[in-house]
Chain A
Amino acid sequence: MKTIHVATEVNGDNVEFVCAPDESLLDVLRNRLGLTGVKEGCGTGDCGACSVTLNGRLVCSCLVLGAEVEGATIGTIEGMARADVLHPLQQSFIDHAALQCGICTPGILVAAKALLDKNPDPTDTELRYWLAGNLCRCTGYDKIIHAVQDAAKKMRTV
């Protein structure tokens, strides 16, 4: 199978890779670019563990082809902190014990940030519906909602 050469931007860095035509962006990120923060929970777009932003839009990277991201801008969990300074959302998750096993955490953080970038003051209901595409099996979501709302509050007062 002929491989395709792609040049794109990930977390502000220019990167290049080659991939098979049917390879997903998820596989490219994990296996070609060494960015294993994004996770495969289902491969069919149902769990959100592979959430990234593509040109500013929240997507499941398992539903995007590697070949599709030529010239695009991608945001993953690895781009959320600034060097060793955590993003307020990340700090809030630790402070509120909003993670247990942590496998869904990168996807949920990317999704939460995508929401707050558009809507800095969501209601609990808006937040819960926004995160409905991110499955968590450990926490029951309660502390996640508290953590995001607390981070949102802190981010609004900056």
Chain B
Amino acid sequence: MALDSNNKRVFKVVGTRPPRPDGIEKVTGRALYGADVSAPGMLVGRILRSPHAHAAILSIDTSAAEALAGVKAVITAQDFAVQDDSALRDVQENCMARGKVLYDGHAVAAVAALTPAIAKAALKLIKVTYKALPHVTDVDVAMRPDAPVVQAGRSFENVPAGMAENVTSQCEFGHGDLAAGFAAAALIVERSFTTAAVHQGYIEPQACLASMTADGKADLWCCTQGQYHVRALCAALLGMEASQLRVTASEIGGGFGGKTTVFIEPVALALSRKSGKPVKIVMTRDEVFKATGPTVSSSIDVKIGMTKDGRITAGEAHLRYSGGAFHCGTIDMGAQAAFAAYDLQAVRTLGWNVLTNRPKEVAYRAPGAPQAIYAVESVVDELCQKLGLDPLDVRLKNAARKGTKSSYGPTFDDIGLMATLEAAKAHPHYTAPLAPGQGRGLSAGFWFNFGGNTCVSLNINTDGTVGITEGNPDIGGSRAAISQMAAEELGIPYEKVRTIIADTSSLGHNDITDGSRVTFAVGLATIKAAQDAIQKMCARVATLWEIDAEAVVWEDGCAKPSGPNAGQFPPMTLAEIAAISFNTGGPIAGHHEFNADGAGVSFGVHLVDVEVDRETGATKVLRYTVFQDAGKAVHPSYVEGQMQGGAVQGIGWALNEEYIYGEDGRLQNAGFLDYRVPVASDLPNIETVILEIPNPGHPYGVRGVGETPIVPPLAALSNAVSRAIGLRMNRLPMSPPRILAALSAKR
């Protein structure tokens, strides 16, 4: 799509900060989340989970559980058909183990009963005979030839012969002559890094209510980022057709990528089918940590060469990711993102996905990018320190810009990296003095963003108000932004527009709320739906005025004659046109369905000051500033919210959060006490600076912003801590015991 001249226009509604439509429900506790709804005759569902990291299931005897008074259904994997498609098979086997359990907490059976107490007692009566197998939880150990095999025969054709059976895929990206590049370097730094798996940490555990009737139709209420995707997966797993299953997305208590698949929904549907009653399942926090989808854990080697004056001559990375016990494609994203911020003559990334006895990975904001960029930005920082160069100047010198051939292949169009770097350099934070024991770190970061399949229906009510129906759960304030864009395009006040989120029966398919796509793609569809409605309103008015349709234009919320030759008619407002719609042809609506492309990448730079307590190893975050290119910030408060929220998630990832496995392969810290996320007293204010380099692919210039902010914090924190203590850190999280160990090793 060509750059729309609208990019230069003065916006009236877009760029302002109106109140969000779901605000009052949420501050009064009236909003309905996944666990807040019940149905008459409802049963309680509970799931039995493996205590072993890896074991064969020799037998499951459910007879005693079935016989318990108040138990209405018991299911195992036998209640699900075997899927032909390997990706669907993985989803099904992750929801309920078939033949083998692959991680501590893997589901093996489920019950539906009259009360929680009976369900709990029933689980205890299910007899599972396991044969424990050797397990592996470390990504590097899992790549050794003698490692226990998590699943056999899962390697893709791109894995060279001779690699361990746990390696499921290999990928490679890059261009140029690496040998020549390194030969031209004044200094080469080679470092290895590891990052632990972390969890998205959404405060709302998964919850759903499934109601299937004997004719095979079902209703499913669940907290999800994508009700259409849930419908597709559940329909496949339950052998249903899409039209038979209506999925409604509740308000969602956080997702961040973690609620883009199914865990308990097919189980609840199967229990409902078997019992003939609605079944509600709510996960406990312990289950959420053990059996939903944390990130990959990673082990990464990076080698970068730089000239004396800071030009990167070559960059190479080897990345080993483990997405748990099932194949995971996140390595592709990480290997592409690693050097994306740089204009390089010679670059190469080589990546592998490796199976381990851990839960199946799901995305956490920008999947794969934080780990890879953490490693690359740490080495760039070390080179800057050793060569005595300013880290921002070095980024500016090597930054990708319009016309740069990216490290993952395509040539960049307009991007905001230079602008964010320059904004950081000009900001007082960058030159504020530091006290002894304090360190400052920075990192650039990036995410691809995408568009995707979208449907929007825009209906003009006879009183001149507008109802928009879209299909994407609101995780960041998108309903407000959608209403703003419609109001802008139609030329009416924001207060006249109400946007709601449809269930799967009320609107055509919409891709998941992910990929930072909603404000971009749903916004774009809304603009087009508004233009569609405008065209129809102009046609009605043309008929009324008895002139040609081309002679009517839309301006400031009114239909007007296009010029003096068209005739002398006073403008007709949207409300006036709507009021007579029944007489002029019927209800007026605009709609748009498409697969959106042209999403713009979003670059960010983070600056952080820290102080490390050498006695306790604790790191205090003193000051934090986020710079990010939003293209066009439709609702600046919500853009700021994404920047601040993602930054703090990254702070937790860098300083404290990790999945800790014991020798027995079991997760040791499956709760918020020992899985330590940032709390209010850990943090300073998070300052935000929004840049706006318009995305040529959107009429208002919008870029997705939600994922990028989690990418820079890891290296920014690591660089700050490393400079504060005078030691390069290469392992995340940099928890107090690790920092103390590093300090005492130095002595």
Contacts and interface: CB of A to CB of B under 8 A. Distances in A.
User: Does a CB–CB distance below 8 Å link A and B in the complex?
Assistant: yes
B3 interface: no
A125 B285 CA distance: 29
B33 A95 contact: no
B26 A99 contact: yes
A138 B254 contact: yes
A158 interface: no
Contact of A100 (B35, B475, B679): B475
Contacts of B593: none
Contacts of A142: 644, 683, 685-686
Given A81-B28, A94-B19, 12 more contacts: A44-B672, A77-B29, A78-B28, A97-B637, A100-B477, A101-B203, A101-B475, A103-B202, A103-B254, A109-B27, A137-B203, A141-B683
Interface of A: 1, 20, 30, 35-44, 46-47, 49, 76-78, 80-81, 86, 90-91, 93-97, 99-106, 109, 125, 127-129, 131-145
Nearest to A87: B27
Interface of B: 17, 19-20, 22-33, 35-36, 117, 200-205, 251-256, 282, 284-285, 475-477, 637-638, 640-641, 644-645, 647-649, 671-673, 677-683, 685-686
Contacts of B30: 37
B718 to A, nearest CB: 19
Nearest to B683: A141
Given A94-B24, A138-B641, A141-B680, A102 B31 contact: yes
Closest 7 CB pairs of A and B: A37-B29, A103-B253, A102-B26, A140-B648, A97-B637, A46-B672, A140-B644
A22 to B, nearest CB: 9
A140 B203 contact: no
Given A94-B27, A141-B683, A101 B673 contact: no
B28 A86 contact: yes
A129 B683 CA distance: 10
Given A39-B203, A101-B254, A143 B644 contact: yes
B683 A140 contact: yes
Nearest to A46: B672
Interface centre among B19, B204, B475 (most CB of A within 10 A): B204
Contact of A49 (B203, B477, B679, B686): B203
Contacts of A103: 33, 202-204, 253-254
B674 to A, nearest CB: 9
A40 B477 contact: no
Contact of B673 (A46, A134, A138): A46
B649 A42 contact: no
Contacts of B255: 101
A105 B641 CA distance: 15
Given A36-B36, A93-B27, A137-B645, A101 B253 contact: yes
Given A80-B28, A139-B644, A102 B685 contact: no
B204 A128 contact: no
Contact of A76 (B25, B27, B29, B35): B29
B645 A100 contact: yes
Nearest to A124: B685
A101 B251 contact: yes
13 contacts: A38-B29, A46-B671, A46-B672, A49-B203, A101-B203, A101-B254, A103-B254, A128-B683, A129-B680, A132-B681, A132-B682, A137-B677, A144-B680
A97 B685 contact: no
Contact of A44 (B25, B29, B673): B673
A78 B648 contact: no
A92 B685 CA distance: 18
A41 B679 contact: no
Interface centre among A76, A77, A96, A142 (most CB of B within 10 A): A142
B204 A143 contact: no
Given A44-B673, A80-B28, A131-B680, A95 B19 contact: yes
A116 to B, nearest CB: 15
Contacts of B32: 36
Contacts of B20: 94, 97
A43 B640 CA distance: 31
A129 B29 CA distance: 24
A39 B254 contact: no
Contacts of A138: 254, 641, 645
Nearest to B285: A42
Contacts of B680: 127-129, 131-132, 134, 136, 141, 144-145
B252 A101 contact: yes
A141 B673 CA distance: 19
Contacts of B681: 125, 128-129, 131-132
Contacts of B683: 128, 140-142
A144 B673 CA distance: 22
B203 A90 contact: no
Contacts of A80: 28
Given A128-B681, A141-B648, A142-B644, A77 B475 contact: no
A112 B640 CA distance: 23
A90 B27 contact: yes
A129 B637 CA distance: 25
Contact of B23 (A38, A40, A94, A145): A94
B204 A37 contact: no
Given A36-B36, A101-B475, A47 B203 contact: yes
A144 B282 CA distance: 28
A100 B252 CA distance: 10
Interface centre among B20, B29, B204, B284 (most CB of A within 10 A): B29
Contacts of B17: 97
A129 B32 CA distance: 29
Contact of A97 (B28, B477, B682): B477
A133 B682 CA distance: 12
Contacts of A38: 29
Interface centre among A20, A35, A40, A102 (most CB of B within 10 A): A102
B284 A43 contact: yes
A128 B647 CA distance: 18
Contacts of B644: 139-140, 142-143
A144 B637 CA distance: 12
Contact of B201 (A94, A131, A137, A143): A137
Given A46-B671, A140-B645, A141-B680, A41 B205 contact: yes
Nearest to B637: A97
Nearest to A138: B645
Contacts of B26: 99, 102, 105
Contacts of B256: 137
B24 A86 contact: yes
Contacts of A41: 203-205, 253, 285, 672
A48 to B, nearest CB: 9
A136 B29 contact: no
A69 B88 CA distance: 48
Contacts of A86: 24, 27-28
A20 to B, nearest CB: 7
Contacts of B682: 132
Contact of A102 (B35, B253, B284): B253
Contact of A132 (B36, B201, B476, B679): B679
Given A43-B284, A101-B475, A102-B251, A140 B671 contact: no
Contact of A137 (B22, B29, B476, B649): B649
A39 B204 contact: yes
Nearest to B116: A27
A40 B35 contact: yes
A38 B31 CA distance: 11
A63 to B, nearest CB: 13
B199 to A, nearest CB: 10
A134 B679 CA distance: 7
Nearest to B688: A142
Contacts of B204: 39, 41, 101, 103
B427 to A, nearest CB: 17
Nearest to A27: B116
A90 B640 CA distance: 20
